[in-house]
Amino acid sequence: MTSPRFKTSIATVSVSGALSDKLRAIAEAGYGGAEIFENDLLSAPESAREIGALMRSLALDCTMFQPFRDLEGLPSPLREKAFERMKRKFEVMEHLGTDLVLLCSNCSPHAMDDRQRMLDDLHELGELAAAHGKRVGYEALAWGRHVADHRDAWALVRDVDHSAIGLVLDGFHSLARRIPSASIGDIRGDKLFIVQVADAPYIEMDHLNWSRHFRCMPGQGDFPLAEWAAAIRRTGYDGWWSLEIFNDRFRAGSAHQVARDGHRALRLLEDQSARLLKQPSPMPPRVVPSGVEFIEFAASHEEAEDFARYFTALGFARTGWHRSKQVERWQQGEINLVINAEPEGLAHSFDIVHGGSVCAIGLTVPDQQAALARAEALDIPRFTQKVGADEWEIPALRGVGGSLLYLVEEANRAAMWADEFPASAPAPAPLLTRVDHIAQTMQYEEMLSWLLYYHALLEVKKTPQLEIADPMGLVYSQAVETPDGRLRLTLNGSIAAQSLTSRFIQNYFGAGVQHIAFETADIFAAAEAAQAAGLPMLAIGPNYYEDLEARYDLDAELLARMARLNILYDRDGDAEYFQFYSRAVAKRVFFEVVERRGYAGYGAANASIRLNAQAQYRDPPI
């Protein structure tokens, strides 16, 4: 048995575009309803009646009309004016087909701190609403003048005790003020008229600007939303879960993408809150991948030679050929790299669009079917293509930039390799042992979307977002990692048109893998071997090493060796990180080798050094 599905809704302010386009995107993403944001209606060419009809034709319930500001506790004649205004809104709501309006706690400087007056006003409002067959949901804005806490809003609603007056809980207002979610236990589920959902990163700023610009989908920010939602479910609330997301990035993005992400985020919230409540969830738990099974490169025959040169210099050996396709397997330690030069299929199309590059990542998972079921419940599209009768069918999901995310079942991996690559020679003694991290580059607007994708599907935690100085602008970077660090992905985006990140997207025609880092237990041996084998290395200038000497108490001989081998260094407490980079193959993908001595990060302190070193190879501006 599965628990009942959340009734999903979203405020039209959350997505970009004209109101009718927003509504179509919302319906297509699978929501049952939408809140009409008044400004969207005011600027729409359609009448309220036409919007109501459009919503019905799209099978969308109009879940609420919002917002109505500044009513309770006003002196005359502002008070009478506010009531008059509200009557007009009831007419609009009639046309839209909703009986619920959102009343925000009063922000007006004229609002009086007179509780009895607020109670009287809300009671009178209840009578007026009931006479029109309408209901009013009262919401405490985090910056409300006298009511800024849902506990105070609830106390008013409770004491007014009118059937047409209820409470609106908005996760942002409560969690930005860090109000304990346990306090929701005092609220009666039937008096909770609607729940508005928003996440946000913890940042130091005033509540109003934080709310207007940095709200994001559940799972994309830092708020403890699962606990909050579980507390609401405990009250017996069974109404709408409605996203209300003000975010500049989303306004610049695709309405369809944002609507789809929101729907996925609500599914995730439903799943995570059910797990906290020890209730059945509609989907299997988040997938715990045990690592990267393989990385597949799409390449023409010529590009395949380029990759082969880099792989060889990094100590990989070609250990086998696919038994029926033009696909090679390269191995070292636990690492499998696959070069696909087939003249048809996805890899070939990928190569035509992007040039030689990573077209797929294979993850090792304990239960392939459970992983697929979770992906399906999250509306993550599956990819299928024709496979030969005697070939393994490895299920794949659509990933970043149209690439694939294969799911390889742990128990079958040995059999799969043996069957597909029968000629495989044993892997060489490894200097590189496994994939440490994979860096994906994308449009800045897409970063939150892919963050949610990984976070919803996989058991990963997010690191805080970092800002890195590129010589041509700022790059944002954020990682997702499994608890044991066996899978680490970094997501990178930039708004600056000439940063390396943006140049990658232009040159590559989309988002994709920009670098792959391999782990070694001996960075010096690995760098020496790579240098001797002719790996095109990223050269690091002498100033960097002088600075290292000044910052850390490093042995002079060690420093000289690092400088000779272009090894970068970072330290975090006692933990140390060593890294070196290759040049990029065809100005796209490059490789990194790292040695972690208890270090958990990615050498952010060195990222701008690396970006500067890479910038010297950029083409002159046209």
Three-class DSSP labels, 375-400? HHHCCCCEECCCCCCCCCCCCEEECH
Tokens of 316: 């990989």
304 vs 513, beta carbon nearer Mg ion: 513
- The residue from 9, 14, 196, 364 that contacts Mg ion (CB under 5 A) is 196
Contact residue for Mg ion among 231, 517, 523, 585 (CB under 5 A) = 517
What backbone phi and psi angles, to 5 degrees, belong to 533?
-85, 0
Residue among 244 and 470 whose Cβ is closer to Mg ion:
244
Beta-carbon contacts of residue 557 (< 8 Å; ≥ 6 apart) = none
Which residues lie below 8 Å from residue 370, measured CB to CB, with a gap of 6+?
A: 284, 285, 287
Q: Which is nearer to Mg ion, 196 or 582 (CB)?
A: 196
Shortest Å, Cβ 594 to Mg ion: 7
**Mask for 201-240, x = binds Mg ion (CB under 5 A):** ----------------------------------------
Would you say 328 and 339 are in contact if contact means Cβ atoms under 8 Å apart? yes
By the rule CB under 5 A, 38 interacts with Mg ion = no
CA 291 to chain centre: 20
Q: Maximum distance among all alpha carbons in the chain?
A: 88
Size of the site for Mg ion (CB under 5 A): 5
The CB-of-470 to Mg ion minimum distance in angstroms stands at 14
Q: Which residue has the closest beta carbon to Mg ion? A: 170
Q: Find the part of the chain contacting Mg ion (CB under 5 A) among 14-22, 297-305, 511-519, 570-578.
A: 511-519
The region of 77-85, 241-249, 384-392, 402-410 touching Mg ion under the rule CB under 5 A is 241-249
Report if residue 9 touches Mg ion, rule: CB under 5 A: no
Residue 357 token pair? 């590059």
Binding mask 566-605 for Mg ion (x = CB under 5 A): --------------------------x-------------
**Pairing label, strands 165-170, 317-321:** unpaired
Near Mg ion by CB under 5 A: residue from 40, 72, 121, 170: 170
Nearest distance in Å: CB 327, Mg ion:
27
Report d(CA 431, CA 434) in Å as an integer. 10
Nearer to Mg ion, 456 or 517 (CB): 517
12 DSSP 8-state letter: G
Does residue 121 belong to the site contacting Mg ion (CB under 5 A)? no
Is 336 a binding residue for Mg ion by CB under 5 A? The answer is: no
Residue 380 touching Mg ion (CB under 5 A): no
Residue 136 CB partners (closer than 8 Å, separation 6+)? 68, 100, 101, 103, 122, 125, 126, 129, 164, 165, 166
Nearest approach in angstroms of CB 517 to Mg ion is 5
Segment near Mg ion (CB under 5 A), from 299-307, 443-451, 514-522, 526-534? 514-522
User: What are residue 457's phi and psi, to 5 degrees?
Assistant: -85, -40
| Choice between 199 and 592, CB closer to Mg ion | 592
Neighbours of 222 (CB within 10 A): 14
Shortest distance, CB of residue 539 to Mg ion, whole angstroms? 17
For residues 22 and 13, give the distance between their C-alpha atoms in angstroms, rounded to a whole number. Answer: 9
Query: Which residues lie near Mg ion (CB under 5 A)?
Result: 170, 196, 244, 517, 592
